[in-house]
Structure 1
Amino acid sequence: MDSTDRGAAGTAATPDGAELAWSVHGDRGPAILLLPGQATTHRSWLHVVPQLAAGHRVVVMDHRGIGQSTLGRAPEVGTRGFAADAVEVLDAAGVEAAHLYGHSMGGRVAQWMAVDAPERVASLTLVGSTPGDSRGPARAPEVSRALAGEDLEAMGPLFFTEDFLAAHPDVARDFFARDASVRARRVHYQASTGHDAWEVLPRIDAPTLVVHGAADPVNLPEHGRLLAERIRGAELLELDGQRHCPHLESADCTAAVLAFVDGLC
């Protein structure tokens, strides 16, 4: 994994033989585990890691089959399986409990971690996520077509504002890095679209912050509102003008997440 300001690094083994790559940035403060979205690598987070690691021990990882992590033998792995993978990463990194910061599918994974391993979860921050695609309004057909394609120019404006794309093409390149086999990408797509935690969300006790771009065309803002309503005591932050990646684009998002986490410590 990337070596800039990196501390410990290694791999975590899963019961079915996957090797999950992880690394730690920062050496003080409470731990934050960054959970990438569908088929995106740890590189998708690097733009904001320095800000988070200034006062926290930040664990970054590649989900199975992505980047430097292998896929393993399991033929089907849903978001609940990815959550079990993330617990293996915490074990390998020597982290007893972490503040989970999940984007999109990473937020779906975080939901299951909070249900299945609550003792490992200090808090949840769910960005651009959903309780399940079928639980809220569907995205526009043209958005689905763009997401299914390989045209980064068409996908970019779904995730970032045009001004941010023009100023930070490197961030978009890292986010859209396609470092996975077709099979692994299919596993991720099936896991993400098959997610449905609706019935178990009220069981979540971890303090929760839901962040959503008010102009998100990928997971419409109603999905964030449903999460905040379904998780007891959850806070909701909608960011005007932001699309699917406010965690990378919006300074207000980063400030709100750090204030939320630090307020719990």
Structure 2
Amino acid sequence: MSTVGTEHTEVVGANGVRIALRVAGEPHLPPIVLVHGWAQSARAWSLQLADPELTRRFRLIAMDLRGHGDSDVPADGYDDPAAWAGDLAAVLEFAGAPAVVVGWSYGGLVITDHVRVHGTDGLAGIVLAGAITEIGKGRAGGRIGSAMRGALPDALSEDPAVALPALTGLNEGMATAAVPGALAQALLGASLSVPPAVRGALFRRTVDSAEVLAGVDVPTLVVHGTEDLVVDPSAGEFAAGKIPGATRRWVQGVGHLPFIEAAEEFNAALLRFAEERSAP
């Protein structure tokens, strides 16, 4: 699934790992950086990269996380906050100006890692969309829902006969209504393209972020679908409660894909938030 008007490029992240980017919008415009979730890719942001209002006002930069999409697949670094922070820092440097950074699902943890290591350098604002900010047993900021619980551990298997049904069920459980066929298949294909070892490595972390979130000093918007069965809405409440001045936006009747299921509403909210951050 291609996105019209999208440029493909790359940057070098932590430890020399090549990070692939999809970019839409003119280089002189204020940047919005989009960070996808576990076992996905930058293609998840297709409805943002193709939005005429967003790309008229902003330069959208969607990254493939290490081990995902078209980025390099290193053997290690997946449990290292400094590696995730370094990858995102390289993208922010490419952006060339303080960026509004949007993190979906595991992407919220990547943003939290950046704040853990670098503070809010390079960030004009943060949007957490169906996101986790912690991970590990008993971590409130990483609480998962029934669709994710049902997919594990089979979704990590090297046996396609085991992994495929689990990943298919997880993708079906992401939304409360049918996702357009081409995009739904692109999401499933992205999950299958991430090596099983990488899918498993992202879970081998225990991260507490309460103090990190309390130190966030840039405007933050927390968006979460009320029917999210992948990341429990309580994880969004945790982040919103810890980040000073965070704004909550709960999207009624929507699951784990607010930027697809309610794309018009999500894009309008992102546009408004980003315009406020880029105002003189």
| CA deviation profile, 1:65-112 (whole Å, cap 9, x unmatched) | 112111235354345521221111232x25232110110111111123
2:108·2:133 contact (CA, 8 Å) conserved in 1? no
Change (3 A) 1:6 1:233: same
Match for residue 101 of structure 1? 102
Match in the other structure for 2:232:
220
Structure 1 contact 215–243 (Cα < 8 Å) conserved:
yes
Question: Is the contact between residue 115 and residue 212 of structure 2 (CA under 8 Å) also seen in structure 1?
Answer: no
For residue 222 of structure 2, what is the amino acid of its counterpart? V
CA distance in 2, matches of 1:253, 1:153: 25
1:193-208 equivalence runs, <5 A? 194-208=206-220
Moved more, 9-18 or 217-226: 9-18
Counterpart CA distance in 2 for 1:207 and 1:140 is 27
| Unpaired segments ≥5 residues, structure 2 | 156-163
Q: More deviation in 117-126 or 68-77?
A: 68-77
AA aligned to 1:259 is R
Question: Which residue of structure 2 lines up, in the alignment, with residue 210 of structure 1?
Answer: 222
Q: In the alignment, does 2:136 pair up with 1:135?
A: no
The aligned residue for residue 113 of structure 2 is 112
Show the counterpart of 1:188.
202
Q: 1:75 to 1:204 in 2, by over 3 A?
A: closer
C-alpha distance in structure 2 between counterparts of 1:107 and 1:195, whole Å: 12
Identity of aligned residues (%): 27
SS in 2 for 1:5: coil
Which amino acid is the alignment partner of residue 90 of structure 2? Answer: E
Amino acid corresponding to residue 151 of structure 2 in structure 1:
A
Within 2, Cα distance between the matches of 1:94 and 1:135? 32
Cα RMSD (Å) of the superposition?
A: 2.4
Q: Distance in 2 between matches of 1:75 and 1:109?
A: 12
CA shift digits 1:198-232 (9 cap, x unpaired)? 22111110100000011111111111111111000
| Structure 2 counterpart of 1:71 | 73
Shift of 1:44: 1.3
**Structure 1 residues 146, 82: closer, same or farther in 2, change over 3 A?**
same
Deviation at 1:153, TM superposition (A): 4.6
Cα distance change of structure 1 residues 213 and 95 upon mapping to structure 2, 3 Å threshold:
same
Could you tell me whether the CA contact under 8 Å between 2:100 and 2:277 is conserved in 1? no
Counterpart AA for 2:236: G
CA contact (8 A) 1:209 1:237 kept: yes
Aligned partner letter, 2:259: H
Match of 2:150 among 145, 149, 160: 145
Match of 1:34 in 2: 34
TM-score (norm 1): 0.87
Contact 2:78–2:84, Cα closer than 8 Å, also in 1: no
Change (3 A) 1:208 1:75: closer
Q: Distance in 1 between matches of 2:107 and 2:130?
A: 9
Aligned partner letter, 2:174? F
The change in CA–CA distance for 1:153 and 1:69 in structure 2 (over 3 A counts) is: closer
CA distance in 2, matches of 1:83, 1:29: 24
- The answer to whether residue 50 in structure 2 is matched with residue 50 in structure 1 is yes
Contact 1:132/1:195 (CA < 8 Å) preserved in 2? Answer: yes
Measure, in 1, the Cα distance between the counterparts of 2:148 and 2:113: 27
Change in Cα spacing, 1:38 to 1:231, as seen in structure 2 (3 Å) is same
Q: Helix, strand or coil for the counterpart of 1:101? A: strand
